[in-house]
Amino acid sequence: MGEPRITASVLKVLAGLLAEPGAQRYGLELMQSSGLPSGTLYPILARLERAGWVESRWEEIDPVAEGRPSRRYYRLTPDGVVAARREVALMQQQMSRAAGPVPRAHPAARAQGA
Amino acid sequence: MDRLARALVTAAARRWPADLADIMRAEWLAELAAIPGRGGKLAFAASLAVSPAVDEPSWSSRVAILGRDAVVAGGVTLVAATATNIARGSAALAPVLLIVAALALGVAGRRIRASVLLLAGAVFAFLLAGNPVPVMPFMGAADIAPAVLTWAAGMLLVRKCARSLRGAIGGGLVTLGLATIAGSVHAAAVLGVPAWSAPAWFPLALLPGGTVSFGPRFSSVGGPAFHASDILLANAAVMAGPLLLCTAFLLAGAIRVERPAEAVQPRHTAGRGWLGSDAGQIAVGVAAAIAALAVAPRLPTGGDPDTTLQRLLDNSTAFGFGFVEHPVGLGLVALLAALLAMRAADARRTIA
């Protein structure tokens, strides 16, 4: 189980799962939270599951009674929570370094704005 | 519309690894059932259908691989064409030089992978663009296409089935024979060459002209007399030479000892000197392009039909590089040379 390659899309999925680390999320929900299309999301979920960062389970329902098939849901594993937090923090650190220090507003401009 | 969406996700799931295909299909069908609206269902399914599966390369990787393979195919075609011309220009030594060139391309083929279809496309484009119809009377698309298609089908089959050097050589020769026949049927029908001679067209096309003559005899006022076979074999030689060399290249690569899947290794570029640097690669590319611009116009372009007829009859001219007379064609040859040289420099750097 190697570490998955971290891309912007992977970070979006991890951030979506980290929003509620213990919550179980369907693929469709993760598509909405990450803004990724299905064709991008599912290969990422498969790679994260192979890496042991994500686990999946089938919804326990009676498809006949419910009138729909069981859905599969995903959540971060304990290792995945640690790894996801680390990667998201690393990215935030890199972004803030790239953006540089936030420039202070000029006193005159502040007075004008006020 | 729902049926289309279900068909799309089913097709997408088939491309996934075997241990995941059924799981993904069931999951996606369940998600489809939960998506409101036909547009949403179709967008969900279409995205899966056009996207790479979990272990497939991304589209950008595929485009890069395709571009690299196209450059290899173009380069091999140009080398095969040039080598064939040199061989045929040597008259009696032509068969020997062709065999030497085939061995050399075989050695190259053991180191470089190439796509049969891209190579077939490059050979087709080269033969079509390089041979003005007045010089090669039966070298239009209707003649080249059957030959190249037959060759490509045969190469795919041999590469898939051949398990030994002997099998690969046998399959390659049969393919070349069939391709030569497919590309010469039109000429044979027009010239009145008997069909029973067809199995001999490929080997005879590799020999100097006039070695064997058959079919109706033609004579023109003030011009040389010739047999129908002279024209047919000269045309066949145009295709047979480069296809023979491309066959050696492809089959040598197919029967090499398969090594374990190459792992992507980080590049170690430190200490490789100036030629290993990016600037060095660019310089190598520019030098190759300049060399191509200098050499390409000297390659035979087909020339004037009247002066070429005798060389056509004695089978000492293979085919032309007519397209290098056009600035776009010359520019493409220079670009190809530059890309190949840069890739070779990059490969040396990566291996090191």
Complex-level ipTM: 0.84
pLDDT of A71? 93
A35 reaches B (C-beta below 8 A) = no
Tens digits of residue pLDDT in A63-104: 888 888 999 999 999 999 999 999 989 888 888 888 776 565
pLDDT of B330? 79
Chain A residues lying within 8 Å of B33, measured CB to CB: 68-69
CA distance B14 to chain A (A): 14
B34 reaches A (C-beta below 8 A) = yes
pLDDT of A4? 84
Instruction: State how far the Cα of A114 lies from the Cα of A81, in Å rounded to an integer.
Output: 43
Tens digits of residue pLDDT in B25-68: 999 999 999 898 888 999 999 999 999 888 888 788 888 888 88
Instruction: State how far the Cα of B242 lies from the Cα of B80, in Å rounded to an integer.
Output: 5
- Cβ neighbors of B281 (< 8 A, separation 6 or more) are B275, B342, B345, B346, B349
Instruction: State how far the Cα of B26 lies from the Cα of A70, in Å rounded to an integer.
Output: 8
Strands B226-227 and A54-58: unpaired
B309 or A13, which is more confident: A13
Query: Using the beta-carbon criterion (under 8 Å), do B27 and A39 form an inter-chain contact?
Result: no
**Beta strand residue intervals within A1-114, DSSP E:** 25-26, 54-58, 72-76
Mutation for A interface: B8, B27, B42, most A CBs within 10 A: B27
A47 reaches B (C-beta below 8 A) = yes
Instruction: State how far the Cα of B170 lies from the Cα of B311, in Å rounded to an integer.
Output: 31
Chain A residues lying within 8 Å of B53, measured CB to CB: 43
Tens digits of residue pLDDT in B264-302: 444 444 445 655 667 777 888 888 888 888 887 777 655
Instruction: State how far the Cα of A46 lies from the Cα of A4, in Å rounded to an integer.
Output: 10
Pure H helices in chain B:
2-14, 18-34, 38-50, 59-89, 94-109, 116-130, 141-161, 165-191, 201-205, 228-254, 278-295, 305-313, 327-351
Count of C-beta atoms within a 10 Å radius of residue B104: 15
B40 reaches A (C-beta below 8 A) = no
* Residue B347 in this model has a pLDDT that exceeds 70: no
- The torsion region of residue B91 among left (phi > 0), alpha (psi -120 to 50) and beta comes to left
B279 reaches A (C-beta below 8 A) = no
Instruction: State how far the Cα of B171 lies from the Cα of B159, in Å rounded to an integer.
Output: 9
Residue of B nearest to A73 (CA): B27
Chain B residues lying within 8 Å of A66, measured CB to CB: none
Please report the number of interchain residue pairs, chain A to chain B, with beta-carbon separation below 8 angstroms: 57
Give me B166's structure tokens: 């002997």
Orientation of helix B228-254 relative to helix B141-161, angle to 10°: 30
Query: Using the beta-carbon criterion (under 8 Å), do A43 and B52 form an inter-chain contact?
Result: yes
Instruction: State how far the Cα of A62 lies from the Cα of A71, in Å rounded to an integer.
Output: 11
Architecture of the CATH domain A8-94: Orthogonal Bundle (1.10)
A57 reaches B (C-beta below 8 A) = no
Chain B residues lying within 8 Å of A46, measured CB to CB: 16, 20, 24, 54
Query: Using the beta-carbon criterion (under 8 Å), do B27 and A27 form an inter-chain contact?
Result: yes
B109 or B314, which is more confident: B109
CA distance B56 to chain A (A): 9
pLDDT of B302? 53
Query: Using the beta-carbon criterion (under 8 Å), do B48 and A39 form an inter-chain contact?
Result: yes
| CB-nearest partner of A69 from B16, B26, B45 | B26
Residue of A nearest to B54 (CA): A43
Domain residue ranges of chain B, discontinuous segments joined by +: 2-50, 59-351
Instruction: State how far the Cα of B79 lies from the Cα of B123, in Å rounded to an integer.
Output: 11
Q: Residue written as tokens 């173009």?
A: B74
Tens digits of residue pLDDT in B199-230: 999 998 888 766 777 777 777 666 666 777 88
A17-31, B75-89, B159-173, B335-349: least confident range: B335-349
Residue of A nearest to B20 (CA): A46
Strands B226-227 and B217-218: antiparallel
| CB-nearest partner of B51 from A28, A40, A68 | A40
pLDDT of B271? 47
- pTM of the shown model: 0.66
Distances (CA, A) of B3 to A39, B21, B23, B45, B180: 19, 19, 19, 11, 47
A70 reaches B (C-beta below 8 A) = yes
What's the rounded mean pLDDT across residues A29-55?
Answer: 94
Put the strands of the sheet holding A72-76 in their side by side order: A25-26, A72-76, A54-58
